[in-house]
Amino acid sequence: MIAAHDFYENAFAKFWISDEVLFFQYKINTIINLKVAQLVVTDRIHFQRERAYPILCDLRGVVTTDKAGRDYLAQFGSVLAIAVGLVVHESHLVAISNFYLEVNKPVVPTQIFSTDIDALQYLQDFKGG
């Protein structure tokens, strides 16, 4: 059984920690605007209890984003993140993710992957940091 502090869920995402990696999964049909970005970042930071982790961020539930949401994530989304592996599968999410990396330039190492396995392999080098 997962302890309460090892799993958290809000209206837009689920978070859990396993093997020194924080898993962050957006729920199906999520639209990331400023309000959603602020809520998920605030909840994630609180959930982490001041400890930084490599983060696997599963974007497969995201439908779209707006500029304010992307800007907020670029500025504050990297707080307590050592590195981020973005997992996407839809072509429009790959385009949005590439745009995010090029224009918003997150402050921690961030790469895009099509599978959890590839993202986890990338994050291995950042564990224990």
Both tokens of 96, joined, read 């949005």
Instruction: Please indicate, yes or no, if residue 43 is contained in any of the structural domains.
Output: no
Instruction: Please indicate, yes or no, if residue 72 is contained in any of the structural domains.
Output: yes
Instruction: Please indicate, yes or no, if residue 62 is contained in any of the structural domains.
Output: yes
pLDDT digits (tens, 9 = 90+) for 39-49: 999 999 999 99
Query: Which domain covers residue 99, as residue numbers?
Result: 54-82+91-109
Residue 106 has pLDDT above 80, yes or no: no
Instruction: Please indicate, yes or no, if residue 59 is contained in any of the structural domains.
Output: yes
Instruction: Please indicate, yes or no, if residue 39 is contained in any of the structural domains.
Output: no
Strand partners for 113: 87
As a whole-number percent, the residues of the chain with pLDDT over 90 amount to: 62
Domain count, the chain: 1
Give me the mean pLDDT over the 101-106 stretch: 64
Q: What are phi and psi of 114, to 5 degrees?
A: -100, -10
Predicted local distance difference test score (pLDDT) of residue 84: 92
pLDDT digits (tens, 9 = 90+) for 5-51: 589 999 999 999 999 999 999 999 999 999 999 999 999 999 999 89
For the chain, where are the alpha helices, taking DSSP H only? 34-48, 67-76, 91-99, 116-123
Instruction: Please indicate, yes or no, if residue 67 is contained in any of the structural domains.
Output: yes
How many Å apart are CA 36 and CA 3, to the nearest integer?
A: 26
pLDDT digits (tens, 9 = 90+) for 43-91: 999 999 989 999 999 999 999 889 899 889 888 988 999 999 999 886 6
How many Å apart are CA 55 and CA 5, to the nearest integer?
A: 17
